[in-house]
Structure 1
């Protein structure tokens, strides 16, 4: 598998609803892919990326890779 999660962060849509944005590095085609968790149901993402994210989704929702923008 060529995907590696880099970070997640909470963003809000135009209506103010919070969503989790995920940033993933695809090492096979050197690129960074940005998407929100609700986009997993759409056909825009590769199926193997969807499987990777579904496998670690609970960790994402718990904030394991969350970046708040605050330095400590």
Structure 2
């Protein structure tokens, strides 16, 4: 499998609904693919990418790769 998740983040659609955007690197084609989780039900994404995301969906929903844009300060 050539897909590797890079990060996820929360975005809002035009109606203000919160969506999870996923950023995935496809090493086979070298490209970065952006999509929201609701797009897994559509036919726009390759089936093997959908299978990869479904396999790690619980980790995505738990925030394993979540990026919120805030810098973390180290405690010394």
Normalising by structure 2, report the TM-score: 0.94
Query: Aligned residue pairs: how many?
Result: 72
Q: What whole-Å deviation, never above 9, does each CA across 1:16-72 have from its counterpart, x for those lacking one?
A: 000000000000000000000000000000000000000000100110000000001
CA distance in 2, matches of 1:46, 1:58: 20
Q: Which runs of 5+ in 1 are unaligned?
A: none
Which has more radius of gyration?
2
Q: Which has the higher helix share?
A: 1
Moved segments of 4+, more than 6 Å: none
Alignment match, 1:48: 48
Q: Structure 2: where are the runs of 5+ without partners? A: none
